[in-house]
């Protein structure tokens, strides 16, 4: 029973690490997308202002 509990805890910890990595990657991709959208918006605004 003790070994089964240790295996369960180890598997749970491994799944938590995977979820944390996935959340970090989602955050990174969303920030990258926001930076790209901001850059495009600034370029379009400058182009409209300059003529």
Instruction: Tell whether the torsion through CA atoms of 41, 45, 47 and 48 is positive or negative.
Output: positive
- CA-to-CA distance for 50 and 42, rounded, in angstroms? 12
Identify the domain containing residue 32 by its residue range: 1-51
CA dihedral 32, 35, 36, 39 (to 10 degrees): -170
Q: pLDDT tens-digit profile of 1-51? A: 889 999 999 999 999 999 999 999 999 999 999 999 999 999 999 999 997
How many structural domains compose the chain? 1
Q: What is the pLDDT of residue 1?
A: 84
């Amino acid at each position: 029973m003790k070994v089964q509990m240790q295996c369960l805890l180890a598997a749970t910890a491994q799944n938590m690490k995977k979820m944390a990595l996935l959340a970090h990657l989602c955050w990174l991709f969303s920030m990258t997308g926001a930076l790209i959208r901001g850059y495009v918006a600034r370029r379009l605004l400058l182009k409209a202002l300059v003529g």
